Amino acid sequence: MAFLRTLFTLVAGVSTLLFAGCALSQTPVERHGALRIEGGRVVDQSGALVVLRGMSLFWSQWGGQFYNAEAVAHLKSDWNVTVVRAAIAVDHDGYLANPEQEMARTETVIEAALAEGLYVIVDWHAHEPHPEAAAAFFARIAAKYGQHPNIIYEVYNEPLNTHGWAEVVKPFHMVVIPAIRAVDPDNLIIAGTPSWSQDVDIAAADPLPFSNVAYTLHFYAGTHRQELRDKALKAMELGAPLFVTEWGTSEASGNGILDEAETRLWWDFMETHGISHLNWSITDKDETSAALMPGASGQGGWTDDMISPSGQLVRRMLREMNP
């Protein structure tokens, strides 16, 4: 009898290890599937809370060397990201001037994310709205990729502080979101908010009339502190689901101090409230918020000496927090 109990214990232990290994071997999309909004939170196909953690690429027209499958694969294997963000530049010689070039970069990152089983945010990286161009852009992406649960649409990166919610930003969303929903009725959409996506409380008080929509919150730890967390708390109290598609360790300029203490306060806040987040950004630009040192390879494979102080801090966090 004792022998049988021992055998049963051994078999049960092996089964548990095999199950755990299988779960860990799953990609993020295999593990979570289609995302949706429920109870003011992002949840997965089983209704469980999901916190995605990852990296944003830099403006596509200036950081295009990182828009490739090798960089995305390295972010998955070495940085443990569960989501990447393609920041598709709109102005400044971006999509409006070179639509096919920027569309090709978009699709390259999407295809890489699909191959790696990662979620991918397609970001209309603009300060001015351009609703008709945005609607056409996202309708094209939705028609080609909307059947994949990996796809997340970020339809307006950072409206300016002169663009009010009722006057500019909400009307923009009322044009673009229906264009997506006409093709893709299900995948998560993230809506930008006024003042560089900080006035989430204003958006929450006058929400969009669509399902599966979260609201964008951006912060830079050296500039934005408790007062912005208070705005986020107010928005969540009003029922708005939040998604931090862009945050930095630096000041809002992308330069200045690397504020590790405030960064850790923000990490605790996002984890406590189940808010997904992506760091800005994968670039070798000579600035504080850049994750890489000047001259770092565009194809991944970054050794420690190629990773900036900000990148080292964020990479450690990702490797600790993501399974």
Q: How does DSSP classify residue 185? A: S
Q: Pick the catalytic residue from 116, 158, 251, 262.
A: 158
User: CB-based contacts of 151: which residues, under 8 Å, 6+ apart?
Assistant: 110, 119, 120, 122, 141, 142, 145, 184, 187
Long-range contacts of 313-319 (CB under 8 A, 24+ apart): 313/249, 313/258, 313/260, 313/263, 314/55, 314/249, 314/279, 315/78, 315/79, 315/291, 317/53, 317/267, 318/53, 318/54, 318/55, 318/79, 318/80, 318/81, 319/79, 319/80
Q: Please tell me which residue in 102, 154, 246, 262 is annotated as part of the active site.
A: 246
- CA-CA-CA-CA torsion for 254, 213, 61, 134, nearest 10 degrees? -130
What whole-number distance in Å separates Cα of residue 99 and Cα of residue 90?
9
Q: How many residues does the chain have?
A: 323
- The DSSP line for 199-214 is -HHHHHHS--S-SSEE
* Pairing of the two strands 36-38 and 41-43: antiparallel
User: Is residue 284 within 8 Å of 278, Cβ to Cβ?
Assistant: no
**Taking the C-alpha atoms of 61, 62, 63 and 65 in order, what is their torsion angle to the nearest 10 degrees?**
80
157/217 Cα distance (integer angstroms): 10
> Does 246 qualify as catalytic in the annotation?
yes
Residues with a known catalytic role: 158, 246
